[in-house]
């Protein structure tokens, strides 16, 4: 649980003045690589953590450390919660850890920390297959600041069809999915998501955001993500799969595949989304008779033709 780890690392730095990644890894029972990543994340987020090389090198807190978490500034408290904040797989234990962190802060810093805690969501599932990481988009810092501070933005945006638009938005949160960042915001036309790398400019208006009562970034992103998935993969194949193939289908298709009930013959009902009939034909053909497609009839007929062609070629 990253929130616990980050606070534990801060406390280690306060107590020992200097730690190495190997010491952090041994203390917290994580890999040295994870320890270095957490230490780097604290520093990159703006906390007073820095590394030094050489024989007496390691990681230190600037200024000789602090006595407790109440020594954090407002900006540092926000930074801690941004790097420790929720992901798509947030657990009750992690939420409890973050609540404890809020109570450890001075009262005047708590609202900013709570806002930062719910500002960013990391959805570790990609739209299809894992994609390589890209550098953060240029407007990410400005948008993140508006989310944390609750400021409306004048957004200049380039849509997928290259249309340029300009509108006032009320930023509610940021979601990272695969290599892409998305801004979740309310607009005059309703709730929308905006690819941050398509934002040309984000200018604060000076007006506060009206945050809907009970807003939950995880729930909002789940709805948006499902809708985007439907738009990206409009063709739905319904079929029956042998039980041994269900795990493989889940690995291959990821969130595009959903398993249903098990039929009397032992086969499992499956629903698989695709970009087109042709793409699904190619993806499903390799499973042979292990997956029987029932609908749409056009896909079933296309797979039958593939089977006939293969028999004619190799039979």
Residues 50-88: tens digit of each pLDDT:
777 777 778 887 655 443 555 555 555 555 555 555 443
pLDDT of 92 higher than 70? no
**Block residue for tokens 């290599």:** 179
∠ Cα 258 1 76 (to 5°): 120
For the segment(s) 140-231, the CATH number from 1.10.1740, 2.60.40, 1.10.12, 2.30.30 is 2.30.30
pLDDT of residue 244 exceeding 90: yes
Cβ neighbours around 211 below 10 Å, total:
15
What is the rounded end-to-end Cα distance, in angstroms, of the chain? 55
pLDDT in tens, 254-267: 888 999 999 999 99
Given a contact cutoff of 8 angstroms between Cβ atoms, the answer to whether 147 and 172 are in contact is yes
Q: Residue 287 is encoded by which pair of tokens? A: 């499973």
| Domain chopping of the chain, boundaries | 2-84+91-117, 140-231, 233-314
* Gap between the Cα atoms of 223 and 215, Å rounded: 13
Q: Six-digit token pair at 52?
A: 């030094």
- CATH topology for 2-84+91-117 is Arc Repressor Mutant, subunit A (1.10.10)
Tell whether domain 233-314 is in CATH 3.30.70. yes
Strand order across the 291-295 sheet: 257-262, 268-274, 235-241, 291-295
Do residues 140 and 181 touch, judged by C-beta distance below 8 A? yes
Per-residue confidence (pLDDT) for residue 39, from 0 to 100: 84
Instruction: Please give the share of the chain, as a percent, with pLDDT higher than 90.
Output: 37
Tokens of residue 139, six digits: 């407007």
- pTM exceeds cut of 0.75: no
29 versus 197: which is more confidently predicted?
Answer: 197
CA distances for 40 relative to 44, 195, 224, 249, angstroms: 6, 26, 31, 37
The residue behind tokens 């890209």 is 134
Distance, CA of 92 to chain centre: 18
Write out pLDDT tens, residues 119-163: 666 665 555 555 555 677 889 888 888 887 889 999 999 988 889
Angle at 82 between CA 80 and CA 86, to 5 degrees: 115
């Amino acid at each position: 649980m990253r929130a616990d780890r980050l606070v534990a690392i801060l406390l280690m730095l306060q107590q020992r003045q200097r730690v190495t990644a190997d010491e952090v890894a041994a203390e917290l029972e994580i890999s040295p690589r994870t320890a270095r990543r957490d230490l780097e994340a604290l520093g990159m987020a703006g906390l007073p953590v820095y590394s030094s090389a050489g024989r007496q090198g390691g990681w230190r807190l600037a200024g000789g450390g602090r006595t407790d978490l109440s020594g954090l500034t407002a900006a540092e408290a926000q930074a801690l919660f941004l790097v420790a904040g929720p992901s798509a797989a947030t657990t009750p234990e992690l939420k409890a850890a973050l609540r404890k962190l809020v109570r450890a802060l001075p009262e005047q810093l708590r609202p900013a920390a709570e806002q930062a805690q719910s500002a960013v969501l990391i959805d570790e599932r990609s739209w299809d297959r894992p994609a390589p990481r890209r550098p953060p988009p240029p407007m990410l810092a400005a948008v993140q600041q508006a989310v944390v501070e609750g400021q409306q933005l004048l957004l200049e945006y380039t849509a997928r069809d290259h249309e340029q638009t300009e509108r006032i938005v009320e930023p509610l949160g940021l979601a990272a999915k695969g290599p892409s960042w998305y801004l979740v915001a309310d607009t005059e036309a309703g709730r929308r998501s905006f690819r941050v790398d398509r934002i040309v400019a984000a200018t604060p208006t000076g007006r506060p955001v009206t945050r809907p009562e009970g807003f939950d970034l995880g729930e909002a992103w789940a709805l948006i993500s499902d809708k985007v998935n439907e738009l990206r993969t409009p063709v739905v194949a319904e079929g029956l799969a042998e039980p041994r193939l269900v795990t493989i289908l889940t690995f291959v298709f990821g969130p595009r595949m959903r398993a249903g009930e098990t039929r009397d013959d032992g086969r499992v009902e499956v629903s698989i989304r695709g970009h087109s009939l042709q793409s699904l034909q190619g993806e499903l053909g390799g499973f042979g008779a292990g997956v029987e497609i029932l609908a749409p009839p056009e896909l079933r007929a296309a797979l039958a033709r593939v089977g006939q062609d293969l028999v004619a070629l190799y039979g």
